[in-house]
């Protein structure tokens, strides 16, 4: 089972197999509580592996939350130190668990229950942390998963040059669907049936990029997105995989950003909608959200405003409803 946990503009993936557990990234520092609660909900008190794909905060930040709840077997990271508060926090919490970071090499293999994991990147050093991402292929029966971290085209090319088997049923798309990842040559070798993009709604980077979405469309890949669908859970029985999403199962995940199929007309506003509701406004983008919307977490405090009143009033003031939470 692979849980792509919705941590907004970040990655956090929990892989479970035969009672063994591996956490790949933990979201931002702000997601620590969420990761703690997620592991607690599933009673994952021990992580056989904790993988920090690279040192960026949106990957390492929330791992402290995981370490507060669970004990750890092996911790993998491409570096043992990095000058950021989030990374230092990760190391501190690892120390409390009496674990130090192991730097894996491409070609290393280990098992997670009856699943088989191969580290296929990074192959070369890079000044760009994204291109130091630990990239892994996990095989379970006839199904397989490729977790690309934030690897961009340079690392993708290194992996292609190294000649690893890449073919996978499911691809965790590199770098939140950025244009600089998921190049045609890489995608052609992976030939995924399904892809998951871990990305925040209304993020300032414009992820996922339209070019990336169009490459996935050309390759006939069924795409799932955490910004539209929340937590995404993929289950493999060794022959086939099935997906379960938290919401919006039928969203058009390949439509250009901001033009997905979740038009407000899909959601009938019932006539007994309370006249007064609490909304969170983004005074910069002129969008309004329900307080629980994941975009609210991403919002700059200076742009955030709480509003209590009617939807119609907001629209009259020039605000439009978020396409993620559909207020
Ligand atoms: Zn990232
Ligand atoms: Zn990154």
Quick check: 272 pLDDT over 80?
no
Quote the distance between the C-alpha of residue 173 and its chain's center. 9
pLDDT for position 115: 98
Q: Which two tokens stand for residue 75?
A: 């911790």
Distance 149 CA to ligand 1 centre (A): 7
Stated as kind and residue range, the H or E segment containing 108 is none
Better pLDDT: 134 or 308? 134
Q: β-strand 2-4 against 232-236: which pairing, if any?
A: antiparallel
Distance 284 CA to ligand 1 centre (A): 24
Quick check: 259 pLDDT over 60?
no
Distance 310 CA to ligand 2 centre (A): 39
Distance 239 CA to ligand 1 centre (A): 30
User: pLDDT digits over 212-246, tens only?
Assistant: 999 999 999 999 999 999 999 999 999 999 999 99
User: pLDDT digits over 114-149, tens only?
Assistant: 999 999 999 999 999 999 999 999 999 999 999 999
Distance 300 CA to ligand 2 centre (A): 20
Residue written as tokens 């088997």? 165
The CA-based diameter of the chain, rounded to the nearest angstrom, is 61
Task: Band the pLDDT of 268: cuts 50, 70, 90.
Answer: very low
Quick check: 5 pLDDT over 80?
yes
Quick check: 273 pLDDT over 60?
no
Distance 132 CA to ligand 1 centre (A): 12
Question: Whose atoms come closest to the Cα of 56: which ligand?
Answer: 2
Question: Whose atoms come closest to the Cα of 82: which ligand?
Answer: 2
Distance 158 CA to ligand 1 centre (A): 19
User: pLDDT digits over 48-72, tens only?
Assistant: 999 999 999 999 999 999 999 999 9
Distance 311 CA to ligand 1 centre (A): 34
Question: Whose atoms come closest to the Cα of 197: which ligand?
Answer: 1
Burial of 109 (0-12, 13-18, 19+ CB in 10 A): exposed
Burial of 318 (0-12, 13-18, 19+ CB in 10 A): exposed
pTM: 0.80
Spatial separation of the C-alpha atoms in residues 270 and 188, rounded to whole Å: 46
**Alpha helix segments (H runs only) across the chain:** 32-41, 57-60, 63-69, 85-96, 153-162, 184-190, 210-218, 226-229, 294-298, 311-316
Quick check: 257 pLDDT over 80?
no
Q: Which two tokens stand for residue 287?
A: 């969008």
Distance 77 CA to ligand 1 centre (A): 14
Of residues 81, 25, 80, 91, the one with CA closest to residue 53 = 25
Percentage of the chain exceeding pLDDT 70: 94
Distance 50 CA to ligand 1 centre (A): 17
Distance 274 CA to ligand 1 centre (A): 39
pLDDT for position 267: 36
Distance 269 CA to ligand 1 centre (A): 36
- Other C-beta atoms closer than 10 Å to the C-beta of 267 total 11
Q: What is the mean pLDDT of residues 158-162?
A: 98
Distance 130 CA to ligand 2 centre (A): 5
């Amino acid at each position: 089972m692979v849980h792509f946990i919705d941590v907004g503009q970040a990655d956090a993936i929990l892989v479970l197999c035969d009672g063994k557990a591996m956490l790949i990234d933990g979201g931002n520092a702000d997601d620590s509580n969420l990761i703690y609660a997620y592991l607690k909900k599933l009673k994952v008190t021990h992580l056989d592996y904790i993988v920090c794909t690279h040192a960026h905060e949106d990957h390492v930040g929330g791992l402290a939350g995981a370490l507060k709840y669970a004990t750890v077997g092996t911790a993998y990271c491409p570096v043992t130190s990095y000058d950021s508060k989030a990374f230092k926090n990760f190391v501190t919490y690892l120390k409390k668990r009496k674990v130090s970071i192991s730097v894996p090499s491409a070609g290393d293999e280990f098992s997670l229950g009856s699943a088989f994991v191969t580290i296929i990147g990074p192959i070369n050093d890079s000044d760009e942390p994204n291109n130091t991402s630990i990239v892994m292929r996990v095989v379970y029966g006839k199904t397989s998963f490729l977790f690309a971290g934030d690897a961009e085209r340079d690392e993708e090319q290194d992996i292609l040059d190294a000649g690893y088997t890449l073919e996978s049923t499911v691809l965790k798309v590199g770098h939140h669907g950025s244009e600089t990842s998921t190049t045609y040559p890489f995608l052609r070798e992976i030939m995924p049936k399904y892809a998951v993009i871990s990305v925040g709604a209304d993020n300032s980077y414009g992820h996922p990029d339209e070019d990336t979405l169009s490459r996935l469309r050309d390759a006939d890949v069924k795409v799932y997105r955490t910004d539209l669908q929340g937590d995404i859970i993929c289950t493999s029985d060794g022959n086939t995989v099935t997906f379960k999403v938290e919401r919006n199962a039928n969203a058009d995940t390949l439509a250009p950003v901001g033009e997905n199929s979740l038009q407000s007309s899909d959601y009938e506003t019932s006539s007994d909608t309370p006249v007064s509701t609490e909304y969170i406004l983004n005074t910069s983008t002129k969008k309004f959200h329900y307080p629980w919307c994941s975009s609210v977490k991403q919002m700059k405090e200076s742009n955030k405003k709480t509003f209590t009143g009617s939807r119609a009033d907001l629209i009259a003031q020039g605000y439009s409803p978020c396409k993620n939470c559909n207020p």
